[in-house]
Structure 1
Amino acid sequence: MAEWVTITGDGLTAAINPLGAELSSLRDAAGRELMTDADPRFWAGRAPILFPVVGRPSGDVIRVDGREYPMKQHGFARTRDFAVVDQAADRVTFRLTDDEGTRVHYPFAFRLDIAFRMERATLSVDVTIANSGDVPLPASFGFHPAFAWPLPYDRDRADHRIVFGADEPDELRAIADDGTIAAGTRPSPLDGRTLTLRDALFEKDALVWDHIRSDRVTYGASDGPQLEIAFPDTPMLGIWTKPGAHYVCVEPWHGIADPEGYAGEFCDKPGVFAVAPGASRRIGMSVTLAG
């Protein structure tokens, strides 16, 4: 098992596991943990990278040129070892490239770089998806960080909320029993721009916005330190936990689970983008500790 790689800024320290290039710890200057306790009774994940799919494919397969390829929920990147290709005290870049194992699930040539960088009290994560093949590369991508709920600042769990950066008037997408996206919608639980966190919100799985107007949210108790999570490149958002767990996931996505019963081509499903041969696409996220 590879050792986690640590990077440090003036106000934050992050540790990343090369397995999945997964952000596994984020601590403030006093050493207080801002991420999940990864209690296996609920979920042992921390911040998996979602590639080349976000959510569950219908029947756990994707279809490329009429052929089915096995693909589990959220893809395979989170289970693969990434190589470290650049490292300094305040930054590190991890890389995954296609190989025999990935092509069993996803018959494309690609390079996936995940670059973590600290600047003062901000952790930036910049993702580059490059097409190293000679046909268009269809893909989705998502972040899945799990932040401590409550944050370690002596505020009650019930006082925590997520405040959106813009008005979000739309209803949310509903999740089917098999984890795909159901045909209907569910009412928005927002009060203005504020989502007051409570376990009952997640009894039917994640909250899913398939068209998000905000490019950032702020998380924390109203009178305590806040985490500002910015996601300028992703048009969808999931928020999720399991009732009773000590985390809440804020998940910027460029992609979404299959529509219930979907049997079409992977390149045609909602949320999939195409990268031209020799080209690349960048997707970024940042987390700032404020207050």
Structure 2
Amino acid sequence: MDIHRLHTGEAEALIAATGAELQSLRLGGHDLLWEAGPPWPRHAPLLFPIVGRVKGDTLRHVGKMFPIPRHGFARDRDFALIEGTATTCTAELRDDEATCAAYPFPFLLRVAYTLTATSLRMDLALRNPGDAPLPASLGLHPAFRWPLAPGLPKAAHRLVFEADEPGALRRLDADGLLDPAPRPSPIQDRVLPLNEGLFREDALVFLEPRSRRLRFEAEGGPGLDLRWEGFPHLGIWAKPEPGPTFLCLEPWEGHADPADWDGDITAKPGSFLLAPGATRRWNFTITLIADSR
């Protein structure tokens, strides 16, 4: 596949072979996904086998060094279409000679999409076909239009979390590594009012927030209900640019290397080890709220 189109009624989603990336999502007459223009050329990349950066962009394993780009390689690799219908598709990525040059482990990653009239669900599964534990991280990076609809002020938007979030905020340093110093959370009474100033120091990183669900909304416009399972962390990011831009709401299992850590990938903070023959699963659902008033 180059592009697989999902459609039912007026709902439509486009999935690209490269990265199995969601490239367009239209629900209830609203185009919800960022169009991948300046200042950021992606829509909703899949982050694997790392989330964020490893120190020096180099993965370390048993004394050997493997160059690997920020967020890994899955977002730039072609996935194979396993099955596809009008409302579903499943694609997979397997290890090969090129992936082993950056990540010396066998793996099988599958991504499935299911479209309804008002929602899109994403199911992910990672299997370890090898005979040794598989160290990995996996994350999502969807970029939603901000404002959600033409004519809405950007500052009228907010995030509403399902639970109180008293935990600290973390930031990234100038090298894109996790700053060890916690910051006060900008979330108050489950609400994060949105403004471009939030992102002048790059992403907001919440390690193990209580919420597994939030709303992205603006009074008088459409809203999105986002929910996820299997992802313990959340990143929120935007380019602090004037004019229409995007807001990335990113469930992760994994995060950038801490700035004060430098070790083997099997001990990387935030990552997981998948036993031989085991499978790990995650899901993420985007549902349209027709009117946030």
| TM-score with structure 1 setting the length | 0.95
Identical columns (%): 44
- Counterpart CA distance in 2 for 1:232 and 1:163 is 18
Please state whether the residue corresponding to 1:177 is helix, strand or coil.
Answer: coil
- Matching residue of 2:247: 248
Residue 57 of structure 1 aligns with an amino acid whose one-letter code is V
Deviation string 1:237-262 (CA, Å, 9 cap, x unpaired) is 00000012510000000000001142
- Matching residue of 1:269: 268
- Matching residue of 2:25: 26
- Matching residue of 2:134: 137
The ranges of structure 1 where at least 4 consecutive aligned residues each deviate by more than 6 angstroms after the TM superposition are none
Please state whether the residue corresponding to 1:78 is helix, strand or coil.
Answer: helix
1:193 aligns with 2:190: yes
**Larger deviation: 88-97 or 60-69?**
60-69
Deviation string 1:206-254 (CA, Å, 9 cap, x unpaired) is 0000121100110020332211111121110000000125100000000
CA contact (8 A) 1:10 1:121 kept: no
- Matching residue of 1:149: 146
Deviation, structure 1 residue 71: 1.2
Deviation, structure 1 residue 45: 1.0
Deviation, structure 1 residue 263: 1.6
Aligned length: 288
- Counterpart CA distance in 2 for 1:39 and 1:200 is 21
Deviation, structure 1 residue 153: 5.7
Deviation string 1:16-58 (CA, Å, 9 cap, x unpaired) is 111011111001242x311113222x11111000000000101
**Larger deviation: 62-71 or 142-151?**
62-71
- Counterpart CA distance in 2 for 1:123 and 1:154 is 25
One of 34, 37, 51 as aligned partner of 1:36: 34
1:159 aligns with 2:162: no
CA contact (8 A) 1:164 1:214 kept: yes
CA contact (8 A) 1:137 1:275 kept: yes
- Matching residue of 1:230: 227
Deviation, structure 1 residue 290: 1.6
Residue 55 of structure 2 aligns with an amino acid whose one-letter code is S
Residue 188 of structure 1 aligns with an amino acid whose one-letter code is S
CA contact (8 A) 2:2 2:18 kept: no
| TM-score with structure 2 setting the length | 0.95
CA contact (8 A) 1:205 1:240 kept: yes
Please state whether the residue corresponding to 2:148 is helix, strand or coil.
Answer: coil
1:80 aligns with 2:77: yes
- Counterpart CA distance in 2 for 1:193 and 1:223 is 20
- Counterpart CA distance in 1 for 2:116 and 2:23 is 18
- Matching residue of 2:173: 176
CA contact (8 A) 1:148 1:246 kept: yes
Q: Which runs of 5+ in 1 are unaligned?
A: none
- Counterpart CA distance in 1 for 2:10 and 2:204 is 31
- Matching residue of 2:14: 15
Deviation string 1:90-140 (CA, Å, 9 cap, x unpaired) is 000111000000000111111010100113311000001011111111100
Deviation, structure 1 residue 11: 5.6
- Counterpart CA distance in 2 for 1:284 and 1:125 is 5
CA contact (8 A) 2:24 2:33 kept: yes
Deviation, structure 1 residue 10: 4.7
- Matching residue of 2:214: 217
